[in-house]
Amino acid sequence: MDNTWALLSSAMRAGDAPKALTRGTVRRVARFARPHWVRLLAFLVLTVISAVLAVTTPVLAGKVVDAIVGGHELNVVIWLSVVIAVLAILDAGLGLAERWQSARIGEGIILDLRVAVFEHVQKLPIAFFTRTRTGALVSRLNNDVIGAQRTFTATLSGLVTNVIQLALSLVVMVSLSWQVTLVALVLLPIFVLPARRLGRRMAGLQREAAQLNAGMTTQMTERFSAPGATLVKLFGRPRQEVADFGLRAGRVRDIGVRTAMLTRWFMTSLTLVSALAQALVYGLGGYLALTGKLEPGTVVALALLLTRLYTPLTALANVRVDVMTALVSFERVFEVLDLEPMIKEPAEPKKLPEGGVSVEFADVKFGYPAADKFSLASLEDVATLDSRGGEEVLHGISFRAEAGQMVALVGSSGAGKSTIASLLPRLYDVDAGSVRLSDVDVKDLSFASLRETVGVVTQDGHLFHDTIRANLSYARPDVTDDEIWAALDKARLGDLVHSLPDGLDTTVGERGYRLSGGERQRLTIARLLLAQPKVVVLDEATAHLDSESEVAVGEALTGALEGRTSLVIAHRLSTVRAADLILVVENGDIVERGTHDELLAKEGRYAELYHTQFAEEPAAA
């Protein structure tokens, strides 16, 4: 049965084999396998011994028959039986040892690949994540990595085993009777060709099933998340949702039934052809035995060896497919590893001077890069990547904030405010000009130094599906509970957390949806306070809050900004008034700059924004 499934799997891969591979794939696979070469060698030795035993047992079985028919002493039959039993025990032990080595090699390769991909993905620019389907990326770390491991070990062991088993079987069968061996090979095309044809049909069904399953997974992922479920409750059509899901699930069911029948047809055909081949062997072998040209035991040995012949011959007929399929899983992983990180750490990073940190943008020009510079079409689920990009969106931005000062950015939506803010923590790199912290270009700072110096609070502060303690200590792993409580108090959240039954061990839910919007935002501010950055970037941190939450978050922000240099995309009037410098950004340019009073006196764009966006806010703010 195991051989049957192996052959069916091989035939299925034949219909879905890749046509070509990138040069160097084999060499890169060898590099990943090199650390496991000792186990790999032991695995190959065990595989060779196992293949030899597989051919030896039928020959000994024939000897037993000859001993019985020839009337030999009972001791001969007993000793031959004992040898067969010992070989069976040895083969079982070898099988366990082989599986252990295979598992160690395979799991080791999985570990190496997963760690390499995970580490590399973290180095990719934020633009990569804005375009990539998360599920497709996760699939590379799961399905493709496991596929690479499984197919690699199975193909390697299968190739060695089949070659040795085929060679030994042919040599032994020809030595026993070349006539019977020739007849046994006559039916091989009838056995191999239908298997390959069936493989193409099965592969097509499997591809369709995979696509349908991916569609169902996507639908479930989107609909079962907190925001997705809310959208469906408010605007969705439940019956239509169920109907769409049921349509895909029904097609998967139909494919499952058809696959089961095709599999059964394959197994029946395999059994039938094997039986016909054995019938020929028994027929011709029996004739030769009756005419005195063969021993009866030889006929039995040939019949048993027949199974050792057909299985490797069929598998080796698809060996190119097996090898190509093994390598394509690696190549899909290598596709991700080959994506070049656009933002790189300097080889010899500089250090920031002690004390407060100033921020300066010097004639900064920037355009978002084209997708083909950092993404993969297969991860975006598109035929070809969007080559558009590089169009300049910031045109010579220049300003300076001294240590402890606040610079506020105001302007229309899409004017370029968030783009400016994203350049300071190096979410993107400038195309021209420079962004400096205390006169040191951010490109010359280590990533660790930059993370320690610059803290960011966005419109929708992200929280992991974990406890409050874990989310806060993410900023500083060595933080104490006392420090956490102090940060929560400063963020106006201490009383709330104290009132929770589990306190700091309360799980916040996916993306923090068990908390209100204001509570989530104050929790991210507490995380910022624990990080203790010298520079703070606030990207409309109160934009989507109600007035009560906005006041609470605003109070928390006042403490977070105290004594720190800050770059704030302003949303509240109090923030604008408190700024040491206000920059009015429109279409990627700074069109006005000054204090609140100076800009109002100009009666320009800022005054217009003030009267339309801020005028309704109470003066008490």
- pLDDT confidence bin for 592, thresholds 50/70/90: very high
Which of 295, 322, 337 represents a domain boundary (last residue)?
337
Q: Indicate if the pLDDT at residue 31 is higher than 60.
A: yes
Lowest mean pLDDT of 136-150, 251-265, 410-424, name the range.
Answer: 136-150
Let me know if residue 574 belongs to a domain.
yes
Task: Output the pLDDT for position 589.
Answer: 92
Higher pLDDT, 97 or 295: 97
Let me know if residue 361 belongs to a domain.
no
Amino acid at 298: T
Lowest mean pLDDT of 112-121, 189-198, 513-522, 576-585, name the range.
Answer: 189-198
Query: Residue range 491-501: average pLDDT?
Result: 85
Could you tell me if 578 and 509 are in contact, meaning their C-beta atoms sit under 8 angstroms apart? Answer: no
Query: Strand 440-441 to strand 432-437: parallel, antiparallel, or no bridges (unpaired)?
Result: antiparallel
Task: Output the pLDDT for position 397.
Answer: 93
Question: Do 42 and 160 fall within a single domain?
Answer: yes
pTM: 0.70
Question: Do 198 and 316 fall within a single domain?
Answer: yes
pLDDT in tens, 518-528: 788 888 888 88
Could you tell me if 410 and 583 are in contact, meaning their C-beta atoms sit under 8 angstroms apart? Answer: yes
Could you tell me if 606 and 410 are in contact, meaning their C-beta atoms sit under 8 angstroms apart? Answer: yes
Let me know if residue 51 belongs to a domain.
yes
**Residue for token pair 């110096």:** 453
Task: Compute the distance between CA of residue 433 and CA of residue 450 in angstroms, rounded to an integer.
Answer: 19
Task: Output the pLDDT for position 584.
Answer: 92
Question: Do 38 and 184 fall within a single domain?
Answer: yes
Higher pLDDT, 209 or 480: 480
Lowest mean pLDDT of 127-141, 310-324, 415-429, 550-564, name the range.
Answer: 310-324
Query: Residue range 111-118: average pLDDT?
Result: 85
- pLDDT confidence bin for 437, thresholds 50/70/90: very high
Q: Indicate if the pLDDT at residue 453 is higher than 50.
A: yes
Which of 319, 337, 355 represents a domain boundary (last residue)?
337
- pLDDT confidence bin for 501, thresholds 50/70/90: confident
Task: Compute the distance between CA of residue 311 and CA of residue 177 in angstroms, rounded to an integer.
Answer: 20
Question: Do 174 and 276 fall within a single domain?
Answer: yes
Lowest mean pLDDT of 11-20, 192-201, 464-473, 573-582, name the range.
Answer: 11-20
Question: Do 330 and 407 fall within a single domain?
Answer: no
Higher pLDDT, 614 or 587: 587
Helices 238-290 and 178-186, interaxial angle, to 10°?
150
Let me know if residue 375 belongs to a domain.
no
Higher pLDDT, 275 or 150: 275
CA distances 435 to 107, 244, 401, 524, 561, Å, are 45, 50, 12, 25, 21
Q: Indicate if the pLDDT at residue 1 is higher than 80.
A: no
Could you tell me if 27 and 334 are in contact, meaning their C-beta atoms sit under 8 angstroms apart? Answer: no
Let me know if residue 34 belongs to a domain.
yes
Lowest mean pLDDT of 149-153, 219-223, 236-240, name the range.
Answer: 149-153
pLDDT in tens, 120-140: 888 888 888 877 777 677 777
Work out the mean pLDDT of the chain and round it to a whole number: 78
Which segments within 381-506 are labelled E, that is strand? 392-401, 406-411, 432-437, 440-441, 454-457
Query: What share of the chain in percent tops pLDDT 70?
Result: 77
Task: Output the pLDDT for position 153.
Answer: 65
Query: Residue range 141-165: average pLDDT?
Result: 72
Task: Output the pLDDT for position 194.
Answer: 63
Question: Do 504 and 602 fall within a single domain?
Answer: yes
What DSSP string describes 69-123? HTT--HHHHHHHHHHHHHHHHHHHHHHHHHHHHHHHHHHHHHHHHHHHHHHHHTT
Q: Indicate if the pLDDT at residue 609 is higher than 70.
A: yes
Let me know if residue 149 belongs to a domain.
yes
- pLDDT confidence bin for 541, thresholds 50/70/90: low
pLDDT in tens, 180-236: 878 777 776 666 666 666 656 766 676 677 667 766 776 776 677 666 776 676 666
Helices 145-176 and 319-337, interaxial angle, to 10°?
160
What CATH number does the domain containing 585 carry? 3.40.50.300
What DSSP string describes 481-520? HHHHHHHHHHTT-HHHHHHSTTGGG-B--GGGTTS-HHHH
Q: Indicate if the pLDDT at residue 11 is higher than 50.
A: no
Task: Output the pLDDT for position 212.
Answer: 74
CA distances 446 to 129, 352, 465, Å, are 22, 10, 29
Question: Do 267 and 416 fall within a single domain?
Answer: no
Let me know if residue 610 belongs to a domain.
yes
Residue 455's domain comprises: 403-431+445-614
Higher pLDDT, 53 or 461: 53
Let me know if residue 490 belongs to a domain.
yes
Listed residue (191, 203, 151) closest to 15, CA to CA: 203
Q: How many domains does the chain have?
A: 2
Helices (H), 291-383: 296-317, 319-337, 377-380
Query: Residue range 241-263: average pLDDT?
Result: 82
Higher pLDDT, 524 or 374: 524
As given in the structure block, the two tokens for residue 188 are 């091989």
Query: Residue range 569-576: average pLDDT?
Result: 69
Which of 322, 337, 352 represents a domain boundary (last residue)?
337
Amino acid at 452: E
Question: Do 411 and 540 fall within a single domain?
Answer: yes
Question: Do 210 and 329 fall within a single domain?
Answer: yes
Lowest mean pLDDT of 111-120, 167-176, 254-263, 324-333, name the range.
Answer: 324-333
Task: Compute the distance between CA of residue 104 and CA of residue 88 in angstroms, rounded to an integer.
Answer: 24
Task: Compute the distance between CA of residue 131 and CA of residue 270 in angstroms, rounded to an integer.
Answer: 47
pLDDT in tens, 90-105: 988 988 888 888 778 8
Q: Indicate if the pLDDT at residue 60 is higher than 60.
A: yes
- pLDDT confidence bin for 402, thresholds 50/70/90: very high
Question: Do 424 and 333 fall within a single domain?
Answer: no
What CATH number does the domain containing 257 carry? 1.20.1560.10
**The Cα angle at residue 577 between residues 576 and 581, in degrees rounded to 5:** 70
Question: Do 72 and 221 fall within a single domain?
Answer: yes
Question: Do 45 and 192 fall within a single domain?
Answer: yes
Task: Output the pLDDT for position 19.
Answer: 46
Cβ atoms < 10 Å from Cβ of 303 = 21
Query: What share of the chain in percent tops pLDDT 90?
Result: 10
Distance in angstroms between the alpha carbons of the first and the last residue of the chain: 77
As given in the structure block, the two tokens for residue 540 are 């409309």
